[in-house]
A and B are shown apart, each in its own frame.
Chain A
């Protein structure tokens, strides 16, 4: 099983700042099959990035994903008030889908 580690658990920013979130895999994620999801309190997760770098439908271009192998990054270029949330990474290569523990992006 591929274990995904997201650290730190919480990041604090002011609106307008650039946020960089990390997701590290215990072994290489084949085909860069890694996704990022945004989750707000009381809501279901929402797909943000798939294939490590492709934005999902309706996701603004301030969101970008990068990385390959075992190290992946989600970048929010300029935080808007609605971006403060928890972000989860997920690998969907094999043998079983696994998630990281999540990173909360909070207002400083």
Chain B
């Protein structure tokens, strides 16, 4: 079964750090680009960060540039998002998603919740 499972979310104080993980199974993880998408409660979807299959191309939303770092370990079938200097506006559900052959996001995890609050 093709699956993505996120972990690492939680409650963190403003200015703090958190590392999210996404573990893939059921497909050749090393062959596909991956993205992190977040969704604040009651709001729309926002692409946070993108990483190509080989990690040669990485990009970030302006809202997180300089604070978040995306990475992957193809040997471990894992995707990561290191988040630092967190702000209240980073509070959201964070999803990892696989970019399919057609370019769209064809597999999504169930998400992990990040809450930034004192």
Interface-facing stretch out of B16-24, B39-47, B73-81, B83-91:
B39-47
B104 near A99: Cβ-Cβ < 8 Å: no
CB of B11 closer than 8 Å to a CB of A: no
Residue of A nearest to B105 (CB): A47
Cα A101 to Cα B61 in complex, Å, equals 16
A50 near B103: Cβ-Cβ < 8 Å: yes
CB of A46 closer than 8 Å to a CB of B: yes
Cα A45 to Cα B47 in complex, Å, equals 13
Cα A56 to Cα B104 in complex, Å, equals 10
What number of residue pairs across chains A and B have CB atoms under 8 A from each other? 62
Nearest Cβ on chain A to B14's Cβ, whole angstroms: 26
Interface hits, A32-56 → B, CB 8 Å: 33, 35, 37, 43-47, 50-51, 54, 56
CB of A97 closer than 8 Å to a CB of B: yes
Contact bitstring B1-38, A, C-beta under 8 A = 1, else 0: 00000000000000000000000000000000001010
Contact among B50, B108, B110 for A97, CB-based, below 8 A: B50
- On A, residues with C-beta under 8 Å from B are 33, 35, 37, 43-47, 50-51, 54, 56, 88, 90, 92, 95-102
